[in-house]
Structure 1
Amino acid sequence: MKHITCIEDLRQLHMRRVPKAFFDYADRGSYTEQTLRANRADLEAIRFRQRILVDVSKRDLSTTILGEPASLPLILAPVGLLGMQHGDGEILACRAAQAAGIPFTLSTMSICSIEDVAASVDKPFWFQLYVMKDRGFIKALIERAIAAKCSALVLTVDLQVIGQRHQDIKNGMTVPPEWSLSKLFDFATKPAWISGVLRGKRRTFGNLMGHLKGTDDITALSSWISTQFDTSLNWKDVEWIRSIWPGKLVLKGILDVEDANEAAKSGAQALVVSNHGGRQLDGALSSIEILPEIVEAVGSQMEIMFDGGIRSGQDVMRALALGAKSCMIGRAFAHGLGAGGEAGVAKAIDLIRNELSVTMGLTGVNTIAEIDERVLADSPRGHNAR
């Protein structure tokens, strides 16, 4: 992968190596994809303040995330169906994250189960929870995460109503898949992907299969899932989860100051400013647009993480400058996984690490703690410091 220079290079490889239905599942957003585009455009509009003749010979990207040391302020976000981007995708991504010294978050909707991943890696990982109507199953899922020694629970709070992703419908992205001649041809032209997925431990939702009566076949499981997202989910459910989960709790999907204030009262240690990667409410604010307001409201009470549009170390720097303590990447590492398995995920992390280091050097900072609005050309603090 020596000629890979950026995340977009990995994306192009991912697109060539993985069937279109699974690539689009990772790459696309909901409805007209307005929010998906805004996440990128609003980040790219933030300009840096270049500084010169500052000693930046001792740059250090290390930080802490939820009180644990991390080699850089980056987290692999929960992404569903990683095992369909590459065989055993969740295990490979977790290994790459742990080798890089950053957290990995396993999705409820993963292909490899909690137990599969725990048996295949050396250190604890984070687990992401969707709350479904079957509360008994959710309690059992949390208890499985406890048994696997997961070091944080990430509760996704913005998916009780599912935004329609047009491309998934057009691609017949169902479980089991809707077959067509074009889809069969697409799969047939990806023999390396097919053999990798066939060698993988599973090809369906590992956390759900076999743990629910009547869902041992994939069609029944798919039908069960479609009825399970719970529109009655509310703050009392967060209290209930806290009563079961003894560890660190992160609320993912906060995009409003009022909700951030409620999150600060919930007992959670952190929140993630996120619009679900532009896959839910189309026309919502971009994550970076609301980040400073949420930091101002609750940044002194809980750890603020950022998610939405990160494709480079420069993007990480922009989010840190506006008050985030760390950033989650989803598509960026999924592109790496689809492009080259564990080595591809490692490459994605490496690209972001190197870009962040160079950007720190050219803006005159040596440590993550030094990064604030003064590194930005358009912030009042940046202008005043000249």
Structure 2
Amino acid sequence: MAFPFNTEYPSIESLRERARKRMPRFAFEYLDGGCNENINIKRNTDEIREIQLKPRYLKNYSNSRLETELFGLKYDAPFGISPIGLQGLMWPNAPEILAKASLKHNIPFILSTVTTTSIERASELTEGRAWFQLYHPTEDWLRDDILKRAEAAEVPVLVILCDVPTFGYRPKEIRNGLAMPPQMNFRNVLQVMGKPAWAMQTLKHGAPNFATMKKYMDKGMSIKQLGAWMNATFSGRLNEEKIKPLRDLWKGKLVLKGVVSDEDAEEAIRLGFDGIIVSNHGGRQLDAGESTIKPLSHIAEKYKDRITVMMDSGIRSGPDIARVMSSGADFSFLGRSFMYGVGALGEEGGDHTIAMLKMQLQQVLEQVCCEKVTDLPKYLVKE
């Protein structure tokens, strides 16, 4: 199958710049920003790019393959789409665009609890292959009902967040009225008027809403009431008492996202998780924390024979994926990169971004003469 590739946008950075011009500023800054002084969002990518690979030009080498097995399923590449909240605010219909692209390219798509497409719709678009990321509800009945819906939708992997015990301090979101409760101020309205493509697509697809949670909300909630309801409905603090019932109830694969310490990795193994995603929420939670690549290296070395180790946050290219995989990750996920693609190219953005990342990663493997993604650690330049 041939996929569209727009040669005017051959990098994530070129997609980012195009998206910036097409999205209202408040929407772009919600996508693009970190927290506090935005230090860790930059550190994530910078420290990934300190990793170097060593080619083996004279070895017996036939061809390079991107296919990767994860939780018993074969994917066409070793990367997937991270969960992102409020995707339809950033670009109308974004989660559906990405879900469709993930199916065509056979890579994982993770749906967030607080994005703008429902569990059921994501499952339909991906033929039952979409993963689901759960923000932990404060009420057991709500947790149980969401899990029943995920099971009925044939979700293969449930992802639980541990890195949002409190909301990060995000100055741009506060200024733009996108903190909880959100508000649409006059400045934001003017920004929308200056982005006709975004406005027309919003009219076509409707105002974004928390589609998975819609059935539990009272009709006619004001923005302020909605914010209060969301804060009361979810608790980001995880502990053994909350995790054990989830492990008992969920019969599929269970993944803990947000692990950055040996202690949490050990606890995840003890509590029966099938995998962990080393992540700092894209640098949106703790500006004073480490980049994700630093803990990944030693967590993978110590624990990947006992649990599947994945990583997201800071990955912006095919070479970045190769660097992460060479550092010991079994799989990688990208979030902002795909949203830049959709913001830049709309309906074609998902296909374009996935195809571009595949091309870039394929070139790296061929250049270093690596036949399989799982062999990349052999090409790592060690300090």
Task: Report if TM-score (shorter chain) is over 0.5.
Answer: yes
Contact 2:65 2:373 in 1 (8 A): yes
Are 1:186 and 2:191 counterparts?
yes
Q: Deviations over 1:339-379 (max 9, x none)?
A: 1233112111112111111111111211112111x3233x0
Displacement of 1:135 after TM fit?
Answer: 2.7
Structure 1 residue runs without a partner (length 5+): 381-386
Q: What residue is the counterpart of 2:3 in the other structure?
A: none
Note if 1:159 corresponds to 2:164: yes
Give every structure 1 segment of 4 or more consecutive aligned residues whose post-TM-superposition deviation is greater than 3 Å: 53-57, 212-219
Distance 1:22 1:324 in 2: 31
Residues 102 and 87 (structure 1 numbering): CA distance in 2 closer, same or farther, change over 3 Å?
Answer: same
| Superposed displacement of residue 231, structure 1 | 5.8
Indicate conservation of the 8 Å contact 1:252/1:271, yes or no. yes
Distance of 1:119 and 1:293 partners within structure 2: 38
- The TM-score, its normalising length taken from structure 2, stands at 0.93
Partner of 2:120: 115
Question: Does 1:263 pair with 2:273?
Answer: no
In the other structure, the counterpart of 1:383 is none
Amino acid paired to 1:317: A
CA contact (8 A) 2:99 2:125 kept: no
What are the superposed Cα offsets for residues 133-175 of structure 1, whole Å, 9 maximum, x if unpaired? Answer: 2332222111111111111101111112111111111222256
CA shift digits 1:297-345 (9 cap, x unpaired): 2111111001111001111111111110110101110111111233112
The residue aligned with 2:250 is 245
Letter in 2 for 1:108: T
How far, CA to CA, are the matches of 2:209 and 2:299 in structure 1? Answer: 37
SS for the counterpart of 1:227 is: helix
Give the equivalent residue in structure 1 for 2:130. Answer: 125
Deviates further, 166-175 or 59-68: 166-175
Q: Does 1:329 align with 2:367?
A: no
Q: What CA distance in whole angstroms lies between the structure 2 residues aligned with 1:317 and 1:246?
A: 32
Give 2:380's aligned residue: 376
What is the aligned counterpart of 1:344 among 316, 325, 349?
349
- Cα shift at 1:235: 1.9
Tell me how far apart the structure 1 counterparts of residues 76 and 56 of structure 2 sit (CA, whole Å).
25
State the 1:242 CA deviation: 1.2
Alpha-carbon distance between aligned partners in 2 of 1:176 and 1:31, rounded to the nearest angstrom: 19
- The unaligned stretches of length 5 or more in structure 2 are 1-5
Do the aligned residues in 2 keep the contact of 1:272 with 1:306 (CA within 8 Å)? yes
Is 1:177 the counterpart of 2:165 in the alignment?
no
In structure 2, the residue matched to 1:71 is 76
In the TM superposition, residue 57 of structure 1 has moved relative to its aligned partner by 4.4
Quick check: 2:84–2:111 contact (8 Å CA) kept in 1?
A: yes
Secondary structure at the counterpart of residue 252 of structure 1: strand
- CA distance in 2 between partners of 1:361 and 1:266 (Å): 40
Aligned pairs for 1:251-290 within 5 A = 251-290=256-295
Query: How far apart in 2 are the matches of 1:205 and 1:361?
Result: 43
Q: Which residue of 2 aligns with 1:353?
A: 358
Distance 1:297 1:215 in 2: 51
Aligned residue pairs, count? 377
Structure-2 separation of matches of 1:114 and 1:258 = 32
Q: CA deviation at 1:49?
A: 1.6
SS state at 2:276 partner = strand
Deviation of 1:201 (Å):
5.5
| 1:235 matches 2:240 | yes
Percent identity, aligned pairs only, is 31
Instruction: Give the whole-Å Cα distance in 1 for the aligned partners of 2:20 and 2:236.
Output: 34
* Aligned-pair CA distance for 1:104: 0.2
What is the RMSD of the two structures over their aligned residues, measured on CA atoms? Answer: 1.8
Displacement after TM superposition at 1:48 (Å): 2.1
The partner residue of 1:303 within 291, 302, 308 is 308
